[in-house]
Structure 1
Amino acid sequence: MLYAQTPAHEKRRLFRERLATGELLRFPGAFNPLSARLIERKGFEGVYISGAVLSADLGLPDIGLTTLTEVAARGQQIARTTELPAIIDADTGFGEPMNVARTIQTLEDAGIAGAHIEDQVNPKRCGHLDGKAVVDEDTALKRIRAAVDARRDPNFLVMARTDIRAVDGLDAATDRARKLVDAGADAIFPEAMRSLEEFAAVRAAVDVPILANMTEFGKSDLFSVDQLRDVGVNIVIWPVSLLRIAMGAAERALDTLIDEGHLTPRLGEMQHRADLYDLIDYESYNHFDTNVFTFRIDR
């Protein structure tokens, strides 16, 4: 009832232990707390919280317009509803290295298991759009050092994302990945890889876990879990997929209302009320409420 029973520090410890096994962990993107609970119910290993989803949920483009307060608040809402570890998109850290440090501690307090900091110029843009720009090496490394130095829980995962592949090519991406690891990054997120061979090249370049972003309509082909496992990927995310599917279904439902005046043809596509109540554990709330308001005091 209410929130997860596993404390944040324990989620981080268990996540680190599982990541250390080398298995591939699946982190679908949750667009709200209820979808995070569904991800857990379906047996996935973690929850991803996308900056693109957070900005879209506010009706904004993914160009660095969201604030740390908005991101941390939404991250906390999602992370506390599931026993799974949550990784969050912290963009460029919301400012200079000192801002990055504050970002990490704020996300720790929000119960997040890990965050990635990227090397784009601020304000950033979606990693699969053209026209990106990245910061110089010194700035990129300072961001990661600040993040590592700031964390209080050593199990909080500091992941470095690099977007340099789209700007300067694969060799530049593997070189920067190595230097980000030397700066203290616990994992590498190479954005917008074009092939399995490119993921394999990053895998060969570093000795820390790597993440694959399987976002639709982007620069990367949509490789399967098995394909990514075979080239040594450790975490795979589908950051915006559930939001896209949900919004597509909402649009079709609205079109049906316009055309037919009712939603009877769409009932089979809806989550049943009983399933919703089960997912939010309605019965536990009812039991708790009954215990509170129907007790008797013996005299």
Structure 2
Amino acid sequence: MTISLPSDATRGARVRAMLAKREAVAVPGTHDALGAMLIEAAGFEAVYMSGYCVAASRGKPDIGLISATEMIAQAGQVATAVKIPVIADADTGYGDVSNIAETVRALERAGVAAMHLEDQMSPKRCGAMTGKALVDDAEMAGRLRAALQARTSPDFLVIGRTDAVTLHGLEEAIRRLRKMAELGVDAVMVPSLSSLDECRAVAEAVNIPVIHTVAETIRPLHPQSELAKTGLGMALYPITLIQGIVGWQRSLLAHLKAEGSTAAMTPDMAPLAQITDMLGASRYAAFERRVMSGE
């Protein structure tokens, strides 16, 4: 499906258009601005700021240890670094409905295009961890209503997420997603789907776009072309980059320790000059020359 957008379309409008195509648009996750820049340079249409990855980058597990202040500041750095839209993980909203409203407004000001709120009890856990528990319908509804009423623009998307699949099964997850859709959220997100049939069942069960999360090393992988046929609106790859980073850095460090040199690994390294250029050093230098010359 092709959707035309005006050249000045907001970032949120662009996310909405991606979801509306129902083609499982692939969106990789990152924890920082550099990762977002790499995602943009690779040609992806959006960036996902993963709570798991932000926690990991601070040497912590994804168990609700990262504060709203930290997450919002990080989201602002990511959004400033790229021109493509940023979708942010907002966990359970970092408090009661007033806290959730403040989180929404702060993420909007930071330049984020969309955020998702989950139905876990606080403190939350990564969806792949044990020890999770879900709030009841009333509390989840309150969270989402707070987010929807707090946003200042309808172009800031509010996404409802349920972690019900691993705890209570697909049927309960679908029931919760339908409740979220009734509240008026822009899309719903459901981790832990394993098969294409499950993806299709969820996509067909609600009348708003569904976001799937891909988790390499945890669940079966399906090509994006196959995911697109299920009717999903988006496929997030939240931990792809950080798994790759950890795996490659381990190999590099083990090689350095064993061989006393990184010479054999340099073909896989990005040249320093290339990274410096990507970070905009030449742009800053040109600005400084113009200022100092009085141009």
Return the TM-score normalized by structure 2. 0.93
**Kept after mapping to 1: 8 A contact 2:85/2:112:** yes
| Letter of the 2:106 counterpart | T
SS of match in other structure, 1:80: helix
Aligned match of 2:138: 138
Select between 22-31 and 139-148 the one with higher mean Cα deviation: 22-31
Q: Which residue of 1 aligns with 2:251?
A: 252
CA distance in 2, matches of 1:233, 1:250: 33
Which residue of 2 is the match for residue 5 of structure 1?
none
What residue is the counterpart of 1:148 in the other structure?
Answer: 148
Shift of 1:21: 3.5
Partner of 2:45: 45
Residue 16 of structure 1: how far off its partner (Å): 2.3
Contact 1:90 1:116 in 2 (8 A): yes
CA distance in 2: counterparts of 1:73 and 1:288, whole angstroms: 26
Superposed, which structure 2 residues align to 1:185-204 within 5 Å? Answer: 185-204=185-204
Q: Where does residue 108 of structure 2 map in the other structure?
A: 108
- Residues matched between the structures, number: 288
Which letter maps to 1:281? G
Query: Where do 1:230-245 residues align within 5 Å?
Result: 230-245=229-244
1:6-85 counterparts in 2 under 5 A?
10-85=10-85
Q: 1:9 to 1:118 in 2, by over 3 A?
A: farther
Q: Which amino acid aligns with 1:86?
A: V
Letter in 1 for 2:240: S
Q: How does 1:109-124 map to 2 (within 5 A)?
A: 109-124=109-124
1:9, distance to aligned residue in structure 2 (A): 8.0
Gaps of at least 5 residues in structure 1 are: 1-7
* Counterpart contact for 2:214–2:236, Cα < 8 Å: yes
How many Å separate the matches in 2 of 1:19 and 1:212?
A: 11
| Alignment match, 1:96 | 96
One-letter code aligned to 2:237: W
Structure 2 CA distance for aligned equivalents of residues 228 and 151 of structure 1: 31
Q: State the distance in 2 between where 1:278 and 1:293 align.
A: 21
CA distance in 2, matches of 1:113, 1:9: 12
Indicate whether 1:162 and 2:165 are aligned.
no
2:23 touches 2:229 (CA, 8 Å); kept in 1? no
Distance in 2 (alpha carbons) for counterparts of 1:61 and 1:9: 37
Give the % identical residues.
37
- 2: distance between equivalents of 1:81 and 1:168? 39
Shift of 1:49: 0.3
Rounded to whole Å, the distance in 1 between the matches of 2:194 and 2:42 is 29
The answer to whether the 8 A contact 2:209-2:233 is kept is yes
How far did 1:294 drift?
Answer: 3.0
Q: Distance in 1 between matches of 2:146 and 2:24?
A: 28
Q: Is the 8 A contact 2:200 2:231 kept in 1?
A: yes
Equivalent pair of 2:18/2:233 in contact (CA under 8 Å): no
* Matched position secondary structure for 2:115: strand
Give how far 1:248 is off: 1.7
Q: CA deviation at 1:50?
A: 0.4
TM-score w.r.t. structure 1 length? 0.92
Mapped partners of 1:19, 1:165: distance in 2:
22
Unaligned 5+ runs, structure 2? 1-7
Q: Distance in 2 between matches of 1:230 and 1:22?
A: 9
- Residue 159 of structure 1 aligns to a residue whose secondary structure is strand
